[in-house]
Amino acid sequence: MKVLFIIIGIVSCIGVLTLGVLAHPAFGTFRHVSEERIEASPNYRDGRFQNQEPTPQFTGKPSAVRSQPSEGRKPKSPVEAYKTDLRSLPTDSDWVVWFGHSSYLFCLGGKRFLVDPVLKPEFPASVMLRPFAGTDIYRPDDLPEIDVLIITHEHWDHMDYATLRDIRTRVRHVVCPLGIADYLRYWHYSDNQIVEMDWYDNSQFTILNSQLSIINSQLSITCLPTRHFSNRLLGRANQTLWASFMIEYAGRKVYIGGDGGYDKRFKAIREQFGQVDLAFLENGQYNDRWRYIHTTPEGLEQAIRDLEPKQVFTVHHDKYALAMHPWNEPDSVAQAISRRNGTFRLLDAPIGKVVFF
């Protein structure tokens, strides 16, 4: 009987601890303000969001090469990175600064766009994401005022509570897929800041300067499909949408690819929008076992052929070891594709370096 009481006590403690952790605001809320719109979406069927093509999360055929741990999954020395004064960067030219993995800031037509920022290693995200030495050099306070914050999906390596909490008052607009607005409202973003979109929705923005006068009302953002999934918390799989985005502004087009395995969407995007000036494409954290939900090297090369962008910046690498490939393999992959296909300019650069496009 004493043993039984001990077991019950241990189980109870674990239960209380689990509930305490899940109560952390980073996990979001179960209250869905967007529920009616979600259920009306053509992409929400059988109680969850669906990809355009059948997409198993695992192939069932693990690769003998990529399923084994690699000695080079993590760098042995600090990764090359530069600490740039982001607030001093000019707004009269177009540039991008990458923070590692899928976080980056770019300027287009004088406006600043921030994508999937993960810049503050706090619990619980810090338990899951361990940055490589030398890569974690930017914090929310380093960021300038943001005209448009874009969130591609809810995964921990793309949507960081601590970062979004700290930059809220410096963000004019947040663009996100369906369901993400529930997190943002819970984290004290206002409805006036949030633009929540389904695939193929388009939003036109009136851009104001500091004197609140219109300087260009031609900013257009289109939410587009990708081939991925969502699951920030066990038991809530595919309850929020994942997306890519096309930004059209100041006579240029920038494609934000988000996460996702290769499919026919790249050809469709090329046909719909024509040639884009810059495409941010996933490259890293791949494995043959999940090739339908992440971009493999072969898928990246085919995506570039389909999309035919003028310039490419690959992301989703060089900061975390979330797959079994060598940590710097994606860099070699992108360079090899660039050598084989001379139709685009590869912009990949070290973390923090300013690249003009």
* Residue-wise pLDDT tens digits, 92-140: 999 999 999 999 999 999 999 999 999 999 999 999 999 999 999 999 9
Which residue type occupies 210? S
* Residue-wise pLDDT tens digits, 261-312: 999 999 999 999 999 999 999 999 999 999 999 999 999 999 999 999 999 9
The answer to whether the peptide bond before residue 124 is cis (omega within 30 degrees of 0) is: yes
How far, in Å, CA of 72 to CA of 317, rounded? 14
How far, in Å, CA of 91 to CA of 283, rounded? 28
Which residue type occupies 12? S
pTM for the structure as a whole: 0.91
Q: What is the pLDDT of residue 70?
A: 63
| 269 burial type by CB count under 10 A (0-12 exposed, 13-18 middle, 19+ buried) | buried
Q: How many CB atoms lie within 10 A of CB 126?
A: 13
How far, in Å, CA of 345 to CA of 59, rounded? 33
Which residue type occupies 188? H
Q: What is the pLDDT of residue 30?
A: 65
Backbone angles phi, psi at 72, to 5 degrees: -100, 25
Both structure tokens of 313: 């910046």
Measured CA distances, 337 to 38, 194, 225, 268, 289 (Å): 38, 37, 24, 22, 22
Q: Which residue has the tokens 């389909």?
A: 306
Which residue in 297, 224, 232, 286 sits closest to 258, CA to CA?
224
How far, in Å, CA of 180 to CA of 6, rounded? 42
Q: What is the 3-state secondary structure (H, E, C) of 284-304?
A: CCCCHHHCCCCCCHHHHHHHH
Report the CATH architecture of 34-45+70-356.
4-Layer Sandwich (3.60)
Which residue type occupies 98? W
Q: What is the pLDDT of residue 318?
A: 98
Both structure tokens of 343: 């139709």
Say if residues 239 and 177 touch (Cβ distance below 8 Å). no
Dihedral sign, Cα of residue 35, residue 50, residue 277, residue 332: positive
Q: What is the pLDDT of residue 20?
A: 43
> How confident is the prediction along the chain (357 residues), in pLDDT tens digits per residue?
554 434 444 433 333 334 445 689 999 986 667 788 999 999 999 999 999 999 998 887 654 344 455 679 999 999 999 999 999 999 999 999 999 999 999 999 999 999 999 999 999 999 999 999 999 999 999 999 999 999 999 999 999 999 999 999 999 999 999 999 999 999 999 999 999 999 999 999 876 554 444 445 589 999 999 999 999 987 789 999 999 999 999 999 999 999 999 999 999 999 999 999 999 999 999 999 999 999 999 999 999 999 999 999 999 999 999 999 999 999 999 999 999 999 999 999 999 999 999
Q: What is the pLDDT of residue 211?
A: 45
Residues contacting residue 131 through CB under 8 Å, at least 6 positions apart: 100, 121, 319, 320
How far, in Å, CA of 178 to CA of 241, rounded? 5
* Interstrand relation of 194-197 and 171-177 (parallel, antiparallel or unpaired): parallel
Would you mind telling me the total number of residues written for the chain in this entry? 357
